[in-house]
Structure 1
Amino acid sequence: GLTVAQAKASIAFDAKVKTVQPNYIYYPTVFAEPADDPYYGLLWGLHNNAQVINNTAGVADVDIDAPEAWAYLDGKVVEEVVVAVIDTGVDTRHPDLQGKMWINSGEIAGNGKDDDGNGYVDDVHGWNFANDSATLFMGVEEDSHATHVSGTIAARDDQGGVIGIAPNVKIMSLKFLGADGGTTADAIEATYYSKNMGADLSNNSWGGGAYDAALKAAIDSFAKPFIVAAGNSKKNIDRVASYPASYDCANIITVAAVDNRGALASFSNYGLKGVDLGAPSANIASTYPDDQYMYMSGTSMAAPHVTGVTALLMGFKPDLTSAQVKDIVMQSAQANPLLSLAGKTVTGGLVNVMKALELAGGAVVTPPPSSDTTAPYVVSSVPAEGAKNFKKANNLVVSFNETISIKNVSAILLTPTGSTTSVTLSVTTDGRQLVIDPTAATLSPYTRYTLTIGAGAVADAAGNPNAAWSMTFTTSR
């Protein structure tokens, strides 16, 4: 009968507990509609010649230039890349996914033993974290989403059905989403599994829940490209965060949705700071369970386009660092601008695999110049404005919309009402949070204080300084 907050507070009193955080529920970011014909001509995201898709005419060349990239790679060495699809389960029996599944070479299928000693029995193609089993496919109702995602990334070029962007990919199926969504704990476990079992990058077409330090730590630990759907709530995630898209992890690439006419999809989240680039996502035809094909729409479909581009790039230039890979993918979009993405994403463009390969085959890669001119701003504080009975021994925490660094600590002041002398402070940053610790043991009781963060006290990664901000609160006994 406890609320989440009450349960969290109750557990936190246990001296053996280091931290407490809710086990949030996550969901796929997708809409579905049956496809008429499972042919290459439906794949406008790979090659858009203004064909009509699901009764909507496209605009030529609003695509990722996949055929041009395949021609460019003809005769070149492209190494195999393992993509962890952290999602629902994959229908490994689908004809277009035959030979495309990752195989755990340390495991013997079906013998009921943990041959490689990694803690998972018979994890030949991945693991079902939602049900704690090696059974990846539980049925069409539950596991269509990752099957569709996997086809966009890596479906076979076999003169039938559809074709994936990256023929060099093997799919590691890591199911943490079930019919009722998936938990933070399972997402974390899946992320660590992908790291420990050697995945080269990760596709994450899911979202929900709030900030979770343990999940962020898992993503940071993975360290390789972690492609994330921006979400389908039509919101600016610079102002209203959406996770995992909004984590400030260096390896995350967050993807918005674009339709076949080059418009930001009506459902897509966006953000000049929090969303990196766009990718095809509306009416995407791909593999579907039981040997079928389906149109699906959502940022869930945008992310695997970027994952496919990234995987092809990594196979072509395996010596690139993760940071270089991200820079190239970002520059490919910046070189392929769309009016609908201007001011809505970091790059303002649509991912482009041909441009990415050309960039990788050329000179030393440098990060794209920042188009970020938006100042960081406060989204919340503890205590809140006007709070009463704030415990005088507690630290103050001010949360910003993005990662910040301290530029002028003397501009951060905590002043009692009626005094001209401010309290001596120790100020640190923790990602997006400014932690303010009065160096005295406690603040004075029953006292009204004003916290001021002066203009230019902090700045974001692009060097944009904050505007002045202040709030007042009153301490308790």
Structure 2
Amino acid sequence: MSTLGKVMGLSSALVFTGMLAFGQTSKTEVPKGWHLLDKTKDGFSGISLQQAYDFVKEKKLKSNTVLVAVIDSGVDTLHEDLKDILWRNPKEIPGNGIDDDGNGYIDDVYGWNFLGGKDGRNVKQDSYEGARVYHTLKTKYAGQTIDTASLTGEAKAEYLTWLRAKKSVEGDGGEPSVDLFMLKNALKSAKNSDSVLRISLKKDVYTGNDLDSFSAVSPAEKSAKGGFLYLFRANQMMESTNKDFINGFEEFVTGEEKKAEAKEKAPPAYRADIVGDNEADINDKYYGNPDVMASTPFHGTHVSGIIGAIRNNGKGMDGVADNVRIMTVRAVPDGDEHDKDIALAIRYAADNGAKVINMSFGKGFSPEKTWVDDAVKYAESKGVLLVHAAGNDAKNVDSTENYPNPVARADQYRAPNWITVGASGDPKAGGITASFSNYGKSEVDVFAPGVRIYSTIPGGTTYGNAQGTSMASPVVAGAAAFLLSYFPNLTPEQVKYCIEHSATAPADKVRKPGTDNMVALSEISKTGGLLNVYEAAKIASTLKQGKPGKKAKPSMRNKKG
């Protein structure tokens, strides 16, 4: 779903924007950047990053630049904490309208936008894959009851996919699941409050903190402040602006409207109208435009800052990795991404030198999964590590369809260059496990901080909190980039090995997301641990590093338990 549940939940507090909040409000305040801290030294369940930097400094290791691709909604290329670390294609001359490097993508200076048209237009919103699948198969299967025992192979798989799509669109525990009338009224009330407050504050743009310090006088002001401030706090958006809040709310309502309409009519061809490629042909790949910022860069900007915002410059916040370049590949709309765009985005990143690809998106259907599977295998051949967010539905992805994933549909090959990340928090911020995070003893490799993560947001000098497995994934991608920076000959498998074998198990049981059950973290993830970059660096220092581009299994000089 777009940026991995950009809209994923609603509570009585109208906690509506999944990447911004999920009803997991902090019991006490946690500091900005808590996710980088150390449990023992600082008292927060972060990734022990400073200890990792101290370790490589002690070892007198030199830092090498690592290229990380962010497949997402776009990135603010003018942000003060990102503009100097964005990848610039050395073979491309900006703005000359010529494909200088001959890769088929004209003026791809910062990366590429697979959601753009040659006329400069860009896809902003899109439909949900469940609705697309439902209407594609509806004429074939609607009204039929077929004994699945009579089907085999692709025919059986297609029919079962139809049944899932039908359930997702028509209901019975699927979509839609919220009261649209209530939502629209709530949005109207929020806009009315905003109108009052903009006049009272004498500014069109204000933050939750601005509102908190405002002394309301009239009954109208008090009512508007009380209601809107409650929403800011409940969504953990105090540093965000009224415009961001209203825009997020509008996107949520639009998404729910699309779900409600899906039963009656096929979704509009948002992408086809603008992009103009043959979506059924994976070889028709030279489409899009170079506008990697487009009009929806919030999510990708926040993700990019987590990975590599310039460290120790006194601005905003620090990224995880200190020597990265961020390649922007825009392929995720406000809605569900298309398999073709994701497959080509992975290939583009691999062909242009990325060593880590962050993928903070996901969906429940993947009609052209084989294209994505082939791209993942291609990335493996190029020595690229893929890091993917587990999703924000509080579901067990061992038994729930969740795409993309590392297991190839055709031959069940499991990609060894893939890490799936669940979202962790802190006891001071609601608990060790994020209430929204997907989980899985087999399919979720490790948990990393994904609650109340402070990072870059569009606006040039703007920062704010967001949360979701969308934020946990780039923490791990940043950790992978850190390891490759100081141990440059590690293979993707070795980086994965370091991260997973160094994961730190919590001392106590954790809450199973979506329930009140307390379980060991090992019951809901493969490693049973939280990301610890310091411990990962220590393991990396003991590995015999593979030759660049050559597959090598982890080989330890001094094995640690």
Match of 2:303 among 129, 149, 160: 149
- Summarize the alignment of residues 49-448 of structure 1 with structure 2, pairs less than 5 Å apart: 60-74=43-57, 75-131=60-116, 132-139=288-295, 142-157=296-311, 158-211=313-366, 212-223=369-380, 224-245=384-405, 247=407, 248-261=414-427, 262-291=431-460, 292-334=462-504, 339-340=509-510, 341-364=521-544, 365-366=554-555
Distance in 1 (CA, whole Å) between partners of 2:490 and 2:377 is: 18
Over 3 Å counting, the alpha-carbon distance change for 1:197 and 1:246 in structure 2 is closer
Distance in 2 (CA, whole Å) between partners of 1:133 and 1:279 is: 34
Distance in 2 (CA, whole Å) between partners of 1:324 and 1:33 is: 33
Q: Between 274-283 and 356-365, report the one with greater CA deviation.
A: 356-365
Higher strand share: 1
Distance in 1 (CA, whole Å) between partners of 2:458 and 2:325 is: 18
Distance in 2 (CA, whole Å) between partners of 1:216 and 1:337 is: 37
Distance in 2 (CA, whole Å) between partners of 1:229 and 1:337 is: 24
Which structure would you say has the larger RCO, counting Cα contacts within 8 Å and 6 or more residues apart?
2
Q: What SS does the corresponding residue of 2:499 show, helix, strand or coil?
A: helix
1:214-233 deviations in Å (ceiling 9; x for gaps): 11111121012100000011
Deviation (angstroms), 1:98: 2.4
1:426 aligns with: none
Over 3 Å counting, the alpha-carbon distance change for 1:313 and 1:207 in structure 2 is same
Query: For the Cα contact (< 8 Å) 1:338–1:350, is it kept in 2?
Result: no
Distance in 1 (CA, whole Å) between partners of 2:498 and 2:322 is: 20
Query: For the Cα contact (< 8 Å) 1:336–1:352, is it kept in 2?
Result: no
1:157-199 deviations in Å (ceiling 9; x for gaps): 2111111000111000000112344211111110110111111
> Which amino acid letter does the alignment assign opposite residue 292 of structure 2?
L
Q: Between 104-113 and 328-337, report the one with greater CA deviation.
A: 328-337
Identify unmatched segments of 5+ residues in structure 2: 7-17, 22-29, 117-287, 408-413, 511-520, 545-553
In the comparison of the two structures, how many residue pairs are matched? 333
Deviation (angstroms), 1:332: 1.5
Deviation (angstroms), 1:99: 1.1
Over 3 Å counting, the alpha-carbon distance change for 1:170 and 1:337 in structure 2 is farther
Deviation (angstroms), 1:26: 4.9
Distance in 1 (CA, whole Å) between partners of 2:507 and 2:371 is: 36
Q: Between 68-77 and 294-303, report the one with greater CA deviation.
A: 68-77
Distance in 1 (CA, whole Å) between partners of 2:527 and 2:499 is: 10
Q: If you compute each CA radius of gyration, which structure gives the higher value, 1 or 2?
A: 1
1:397-418 deviations in Å (ceiling 9; x for gaps): xxxxxxxxxxxxxxxxxxxxxx
Q: What SS does the corresponding residue of 2:345 show, helix, strand or coil?
A: helix
Match of 2:32 among 29, 32, 42: 42
2:547 aligns with: none
Distance in 2 (CA, whole Å) between partners of 1:338 and 1:189 is: 43
Over 3 Å counting, the alpha-carbon distance change for 1:344 and 1:287 in structure 2 is same
Deviation (angstroms), 1:337: 6.8
Deviation (angstroms), 1:363: 4.6
1:140-168 deviations in Å (ceiling 9; x for gaps): xx110010000000001211111100011
1:291-334 deviations in Å (ceiling 9; x for gaps): 31111110000000000110000111111121111111111115
Distance in 1 (CA, whole Å) between partners of 2:330 and 2:315 is: 27
Query: For the Cα contact (< 8 Å) 1:334–1:350, is it kept in 2?
Result: yes
Distance in 2 (CA, whole Å) between partners of 1:351 and 1:337 is: 14
Query: For the Cα contact (< 8 Å) 1:338–1:348, is it kept in 2?
Result: no
Query: For the Cα contact (< 8 Å) 2:19–2:470, is it kept in 1?
Result: no
Deviation (angstroms), 1:336: 6.7
Under a length normalisation based on structure 2, what TM-score does the superposition of the two structures give?
A: 0.56
Over 3 Å counting, the alpha-carbon distance change for 1:121 and 1:338 in structure 2 is farther
Under a length normalisation based on structure 1, what TM-score does the superposition of the two structures give?
A: 0.66
Q: What SS does the corresponding residue of 1:99 show, helix, strand or coil?
A: helix
Over 3 Å counting, the alpha-carbon distance change for 1:113 and 1:336 in structure 2 is farther
Higher helix share: 2
Query: For the Cα contact (< 8 Å) 1:26–1:206, is it kept in 2?
Result: yes
> Which amino acid letter does the alignment assign opposite residue 389 of structure 2?
A
Moved over 4 A (4+): 48-51, 334-338, 363-367
1:51-79 deviations in Å (ceiling 9; x for gaps): 9xxxxxxx924110011112223342011
Query: For the Cα contact (< 8 Å) 1:26–1:209, is it kept in 2?
Result: no
Query: For the Cα contact (< 8 Å) 2:77–2:86, is it kept in 1?
Result: yes
Over 3 Å counting, the alpha-carbon distance change for 1:318 and 1:363 in structure 2 is closer
Query: For the Cα contact (< 8 Å) 1:33–1:294, is it kept in 2?
Result: no
Over 3 Å counting, the alpha-carbon distance change for 1:180 and 1:338 in structure 2 is same
Query: For the Cα contact (< 8 Å) 1:102–1:170, is it kept in 2?
Result: yes
Q: What SS does the corresponding residue of 1:253 show, helix, strand or coil?
A: strand
Q: What SS does the corresponding residue of 2:334 show, helix, strand or coil?
A: coil
Over 3 Å counting, the alpha-carbon distance change for 1:338 and 1:310 in structure 2 is farther
Over 3 Å counting, the alpha-carbon distance change for 1:72 and 1:348 in structure 2 is same
Identify unmatched segments of 5+ residues in structure 1: 1-24, 35-39, 52-58, 372-477
> Which amino acid letter does the alignment assign opposite residue 481 of structure 2?
A
Q: What SS does the corresponding residue of 2:85 show, helix, strand or coil?
A: coil
> Which amino acid letter does the alignment assign opposite residue 325 of structure 2?
K
